[in-house]
Structure 1
Amino acid sequence: MNVPRFLRTASATCAAAAARPVRFAAGPSPVACIASQLLQRSHASTAATASALPSDPTSHPAFFTGNPHYYDAIMDLNKLIRKYELPFTKEELSAKAHKIPVKWMSIDLMRSILHFKLDDPSYSALITKLNILATKIDESPEIMEKLSQFISPGQSFSVASASKTKLDEFGRGYALASKKKARAQVWTVKGDGQFFVNGVPLAEYFTELDHRQTCTRALEVLGKLTDYNIWALTKGGGFTGQAGAISVALARTLLAHDPSAVKHFSELGLTKIDRRQKERKKTGQPSARAKNQWVKR
């Protein structure tokens, strides 16, 4: 009996659809192919994991730490540090910081890619050891191979040559730098020791002696206080930040005139920008770190 479509019930429609013959294409179904591929990958992954794990995992020294991947890496780095006799202090490491030729993974990348359970102190400890070993990376393929797993994706161990300041056609050196919220641009040229900041003589712009000494520190190191004429433009921040920014920019411009001072300036940190910022005041506290006195009653 033919029933009009608008009078059919849902059950009648389903029954009619089920009664129609279903034709399958020749060969295995797509679902079966996908299931087979996933099964093969699962077997391969299981076999690789089994071959990588020791026969008795509890015999591994980092097994009961709760963070075996991280402590494995720390122990391997410590072995290399002892092998190559690199027990640097923080002061020695900061002096060699310019030799570190690579950018390391961020804490989030180490958590996701290397499966490390990291907080800020443990991440800092790991980066310190990596920096210690990186100072000898050119002398040992073993160190390079070990550190290669910690570099940021897309980076390599090729030393990034710093952009060298060059003199223009008028014999001027130019550089810019920053300190906290202050920014500075500096031009230097051979002269008789004139120093202007924002069009004003140095002694008039910076009335404090400490600020003037900060600005001219690179000249004092070279012993050439009266050998150059200097023009500086600065804005933002306070006098201390502006003086620091001018100091770094001036040191960089002097390298264009005297490239032999690169090593000396780097050891003293004269050409390195200080990225630190003032810590903000906290809500409910008188300042960034200070706390209100606690009163019991």
Structure 2
Amino acid sequence: MARGELSRGLRRAIDSLGLPRCERSIPVPRTIFRPTTARCLSTSISKHAELVSETPEKFTAAPPIDFDKQDGKERGKKALLRTLRVIPASPSYFSAKPTFTGDFINLSALLRKVATLPTIPAAEAPKVAWKTIDQYRIMVNEPVKTQRYHKMVHILRRLNCIHPSLMPEEVTQAMLRYKKASQPGDVKPKPGVIDEWGRAKGVGRRKTSSAVAWVVEGEGGVLINGKSLSNFFPRLHDRESAVWALKATQRLDKYNVWGLVTGGGVTGQAEALTLAVAKALLVHEPALKPALRRAGCVTRDPRKVERKKAGHVKARKMPTWVKR
């Protein structure tokens, strides 16, 4: 009530003063105004640099090269050569390992080129000693990773399996870069000879023991340092090791053996005789080499001979990561 009387009193006072009266407008519903977009209002004072509008400088590129322009005393082709940039021969020149990357790219491209040529099994391929990772790092003077170098060696082994009669000359020249200075077939032992008395000589070593054996056709007699086999080697195991090459090839009653042994212990001397007798036997019958290899007589590792004697030698398996 008091609010209504106050409003009517204000109207009468306005009418008495003769002021223009405003028309009553349509009441606006009381709603809360919420802006649709949020605004971030800054309360800090604007700096002078923010108020001044500065136009950015226009970008000016370098003028184009005019190859026809004369350069002092040099004209024509000489001026053109001075303005050209030398392009590296290898696409990996600007990489961390340009030499290795270039070698790997070249070998991969060469393998794709000769991939259709007939190949031979890896066991029948020529034996090659490739450079080690340390030798290759020294050659190229780059920190090459071992895994990446093994991938390159795998490509080289695949190229080496190409049939020898169809081996391209460019492949042969490319593989020379990665071969060692000395190869397995470079050093060949002198062929054994049979003297006028029908004897063949063989030399064997084991640790600090060394043995020299002469093998001649006979009835199976064995003398070691002037003593019989049983007197010189009391143990049966040592006696078998001394003549294991004859026993493995079933030649015990066909050859006589004279042996001289020095140094080391009794077992070492017997194992040295194993290799010496096997080498002398190969002079008489070279065709026995596969049989002696299977028996473990032409190796310097006596453990293989022991495993052959025991009869539980397993076939060697290639690693799973080696791809043929």
Query: What TM-score, normalized to structure 2?
Result: 0.49
Over 3 Å counting, the alpha-carbon distance change for 1:136 and 1:202 in structure 2 is: farther
Task: Give 1:148's aligned amino acid.
Answer: L
1:149 aligned onto 2:177 = yes
> Could you list the runs of 5+ residues in structure 1 that have no partner in the other structure?
1-45, 277-297
Aligned residue for 1:229? 256
Over 3 Å counting, the alpha-carbon distance change for 1:242 and 1:160 in structure 2 is: same
CA-CA distance at 1:133 after TM superposition: 7.3
Contact 2:120 / 2:161 at 8 angstroms: preserved in 1? no
Aligned residue for 1:51? 89
**Match runs of 1:205-284 below 5 Å:** 205-274=232-301
CA-CA distance at 1:239 after TM superposition: 2.8
Provide the C-alpha distance between the structure 2 equivalents of 1:221 and 1:163, rounded to a whole number of angstroms. Answer: 25
Contact 2:92 / 2:101 at 8 angstroms: preserved in 1? no
Task: Give 1:256's aligned amino acid.
Answer: V
Q: Alpha carbon RMSD of aligned pairs, Å?
A: 4.8
Provide the C-alpha distance between the structure 2 equivalents of 1:126 and 1:236, rounded to a whole number of angstroms. Answer: 46
Secondary structure (helix, strand or coil) at the match of 2:210 reads: strand
Aligned match of 1:110 in 136, 141, 145? 136
Contact 1:69 / 1:116 at 8 angstroms: preserved in 2? no
Contact 1:179 / 1:244 at 8 angstroms: preserved in 2? yes
1:163 aligned onto 2:190 = yes
CA-CA distance at 1:162 after TM superposition: 3.5
1:195 aligned onto 2:195 = no
Contact 1:188 / 1:254 at 8 angstroms: preserved in 2? yes
Secondary structure (helix, strand or coil) at the match of 1:168 reads: coil
Indicate the structure whose relative CO is greater, using CA pairs within 8 Å and at least 6 residues apart.
1
Over 3 Å counting, the alpha-carbon distance change for 1:275 and 1:193 in structure 2 is: closer
CA-CA distance at 1:241 after TM superposition: 2.5
Aligned residues: 216
CA-CA distance at 1:105 after TM superposition: 3.9
Provide the C-alpha distance between the structure 2 equivalents of 1:160 and 1:272, rounded to a whole number of angstroms. Answer: 17
Cα deviations across residues 225-282 of structure 1 (Å, max 9, x unaligned)? Answer: 0111111112223333222221111111011111222343345542233499xxxxxx
Provide the C-alpha distance between the structure 1 equivalents of 2:207 and 2:272, rounded to a whole number of angstroms. Answer: 9
Over 3 Å counting, the alpha-carbon distance change for 1:149 and 1:222 in structure 2 is: same
Task: Give 2:235's aligned amino acid.
Answer: E
Contact 2:108 / 2:155 at 8 angstroms: preserved in 1? no
Contact 2:224 / 2:258 at 8 angstroms: preserved in 1? yes
Task: Give 1:170's aligned amino acid.
Answer: W
Cα deviations across residues 10-58 of structure 1 (Å, max 9, x unaligned)? Answer: xxxxxxxxxxxxxxxxxxxxxxxxxxxxxxxxxxxx96x9212348x77
Contact 1:177 / 1:249 at 8 angstroms: preserved in 2? yes
Aligned residue for 2:71? none
Instruction: Work out the percentage of aligned pairs sharing the same amino acid.
Output: 24
CA-CA distance at 1:131 after TM superposition: 7.5
Contact 1:86 / 1:132 at 8 angstroms: preserved in 2? no
CA-CA distance at 1:187 after TM superposition: 0.8
Provide the C-alpha distance between the structure 1 equivalents of 2:229 and 2:280, rounded to a whole number of angstroms. Answer: 17
CA-CA distance at 1:123 after TM superposition: 8.8
Cα deviations across residues 53-77 of structure 1 (Å, max 9, x unaligned)? Answer: 348x77xxxx79xx86898799899
Secondary structure (helix, strand or coil) at the match of 1:112 reads: helix
Secondary structure (helix, strand or coil) at the match of 2:238 reads: helix
Q: Which structure shows the higher helix fraction?
A: 1
CA-CA distance at 1:115 after TM superposition: 4.0
